[in-house]
Structure 1
């Protein structure tokens, strides 16, 4: 059985804060989205060179994290 994963790209500023991140829910700070994904993605993150990184996560996990982040915002 083949597992489908979504790749979320992250770009960091020189100070280590998140500058850009994919799949970020509307109205959510990129750093907060990165923190939420980090808390819910055991081994799904890989750092890359040049101030970049990627999350490889199942679509269901991303939806769960989005729901959790959006429920905190309301």
Structure 2
């Protein structure tokens, strides 16, 4: 596969804030990374039971968003 899909898992606290999220740049807070992904890639988000969700994006898109978040 030339441009594989990346699944970014999200776990929420009972109050709705983000506790854990994958592919997050180290300098970016979990909630800020979720907010950026929600703004730029909301159509790729899926909600799951138990306070979880995921984004499914091409690797190139994730890398571009990481660059934007770090800037």
Kindly indicate whether residue 27 of structure 2 is the aligned counterpart of residue 27 of structure 1.
yes
Question: Deviation of residue 42 (structure 1)?
Answer: 4.0
Corresponding residue pairs, total: 71
Q: Which runs of 5+ in 2 are unaligned?
A: none
* Structure showing the higher strand proportion among its residues: 2
Residue-by-residue CA offset, 1:3-55 (whole Å, 9 max, x unaligned): 62100100000000000000110121000000111111141100000000000
Runs in 1 of length 4+ with deviation above 3 angstroms? none
Please, what TM-score do these two structures have when normalized by structure 1?
A: 0.88
* Structure showing the higher helix proportion among its residues: 2
RMSD: 1.7
Deviates more, 1:14-23 or 1:40-49: 40-49
Alignment map for 1:1-74 (pairs within 5 Å):
4-71=4-71
Please, what TM-score do these two structures have when normalized by structure 2?
A: 0.91
Q: Which runs of 5+ in 1 are unaligned?
A: none
